[in-house]
């Protein structure tokens, strides 16, 4: 059990982790910090955190673990400020969707505290944002990927692993760059496609009618286009190298489908669809609540 957990950024992810830790009774006290007083007060009113602390140094004082759950664009400044106020034993971790850029920030700012830093990424979320959308079961039966560095203390990794397991998550470890390559394909590319499809249809002459008659398939495919645009802009830019690689591959395959349609290659198109269906059925990509 952790005596004190400090969460920097009590939104959907930070708030859900706080709720899960409370429900699991794995933490004695949870302190919240954020840039907006209103969000902190709301988190306190909802019982998500035990104490709201607007001063960063005060928020992390005596913390066994600090979780950075802010947008990636804010992390370097926070890491730099943390370096001067953390205790020697405090473990620092994050929830960023891109690990390479976060590790670069940590190497620039944490210096001799780097062994207590454990990069992490919970593969769970919601198109809704804010502490009001947080829930204690958000990570249940979802994966969390840890990308420890060669310098990372094993006991720090064990502590972060334990926290996420108490939240109901399955924890894996992965090399930093491999994580970013995999997530470019499985998370970042789908968001690009969803946003782009909605914007494409919006520009059509019959745009309003298209959306009025959209059914379940369109709704399911584009659900993630309701996610925070600024957050996903930053994620895509932070992982642009791997994202551009998979986008180029997808663009090539999309051209192949266009060629099949233009040349009336029914058999080839059918084989592609059958291959894709078989793969999706085999990997059982249902949401955990649907299993």
Domain assignments of the chain as residue spans, ordered by start: 2-174, 178-290
The reply to whether domains 2-174 and 178-290 share a CATH topology is no
Mean pLDDT of all residues in the chain?
A: 93
Separation between Cα atoms, residue 269 and residue 63, nearest integer Å = 57
For the cut 50, the answer to whether the pLDDT of residue 19 exceeds it is yes
Written as six digits, the tokens of 227 are 């996610």
Residues 178-290: name the CATH superfamily: 6-phosphogluconate dehydrogenase C-terminal like domain (1.10.3660.10)
Q: What does the CA dihedral 134, 139, 143, 144 come to, rounded to 10 degrees?
A: 60
Percent of the chain exceeding pLDDT 70 equals 97
pLDDT at 207 over 80: no
User: Does 227 have pLDDT greater than 70?
Assistant: yes
2-174 classified as CATH 2.60.120.330: no
pLDDT of residue 291: 31
Phi, psi (degrees; rounded to nearest 5) at 86: -75, 150
Q: Is 230 exposed, middle or buried (0-12, 13-18, 19+ CB in 10 A)?
A: exposed
Q: What value does the mean pLDDT take over residues 254-263?
A: 98
The DSSP element (H or E) to which 192 belongs, if any, is helix 189-202
Cβ–Cβ under 8 Å, residues 209 and 201: no
Please state the separation of Cα 222 from the chain's center in Å: 18
pLDDT score, position 286: 54
Contact 236, 188 (CB under 8 A): yes
pLDDT beyond 80 at 20: yes
Candidates 4, 147, 152, 144; CA nearest to 65 is 4
Q: Which two tokens stand for residue 114?
A: 């780097």
Residue-level length of the chain: 291
For residue 283, is pLDDT > 50? yes
Q: Of 22, 129, 133, whose CA–CA distance to 70 is shortest?
A: 129
**Counting beta carbons within 10 angstroms of the beta carbon of residue 49, is it exposed (0 to 12), middle (13 to 18) or buried (19 or more)?**
buried
CB 1 within 8 A of CB 30: no
CA distances from 11 to 34, 38, 191 (A): 9, 12, 20
Task: Let me know: does 146 contact 119? Beta carbons within 8 Å.
Answer: yes
User: Which residues, other chains included, contact 57 with Cβ-Cβ below 8 Å and sequence gap of 6+?
Assistant: 81, 85
Lowest-pLDDT range of 93-107, 172-186, 218-232: 218-232
Q: How far apart are CA 200 and CA 76, in angstroms?
A: 35
Mean pLDDT within 224-230:
93
Q: Give the pLDDT confidence score for residue 285 in this predicted structure.
A: 59
pLDDT of residue 290: 34
Does the structure show a pLDDT above 50 at 288?
no
pLDDT tens-digit map of 43-95: 999 999 999 999 999 999 999 999 999 999 999 999 999 999 999 999 999 99
Mean pLDDT within 251-271: 98
């Amino acid at each position: 059990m952790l005596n004190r957990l400090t969460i920097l950024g009590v939104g959907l992810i930070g708030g859900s982790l706080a709720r899960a830790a409370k429900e699991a009774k794995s933490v004695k006290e949870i302190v919240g910090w954020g840039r907006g007083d209103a969000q902190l007060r709301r988190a306190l009113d909802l019982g998500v955190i035990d104490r709201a602390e607007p001063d960063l140094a005060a928020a992390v004082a005596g913390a066994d673990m600090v979780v950075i759950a802010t947008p990636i664009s804010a992390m370097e400044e926070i890491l730099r400020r943390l370096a001067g106020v953390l205790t020697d034993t405090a473990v620092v971790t994050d929830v960023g969707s891109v690990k390479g850029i976060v590790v670069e920030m940590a190497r620039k700012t944490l210096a001799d505290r780097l062994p207590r830093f454990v990069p992490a990424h919970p593969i769970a979320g919601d198109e809704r944002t804010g502490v009001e959308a947080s829930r204690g079961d958000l990570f249940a039966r979802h994966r969390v990927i840890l990308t420890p560095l060669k310098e990372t203390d094993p006991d720090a990794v064990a502590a972060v692993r334990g926290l996420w397991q108490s939240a109901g998550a399955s924890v894996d470890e992965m090399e930093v760059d491999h994580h970013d390559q995999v997530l470019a394909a499985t998370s970042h590319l789908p968001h690009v496609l969803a946003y782009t499809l909605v914007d494409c249809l919006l520009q059509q002459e019959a745009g309003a009618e298209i959306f009025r008659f959209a059914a379940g398939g369109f709704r399911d495919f584009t659900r993630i286009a309701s996610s925070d645009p600024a957050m996903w802009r930053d994620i895509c830019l932070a992982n642009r190298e791997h994202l551009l690689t998979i986008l180029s591959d997808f663009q090539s395959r999309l051209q192949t489908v266009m060629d099949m349609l233009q040349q009336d290659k029914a058999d080839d198109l059918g084989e592609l669809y059958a291959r894709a269906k078989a793969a999706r059925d085999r990997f059982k990509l249902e949401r955990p609540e649907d299993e």
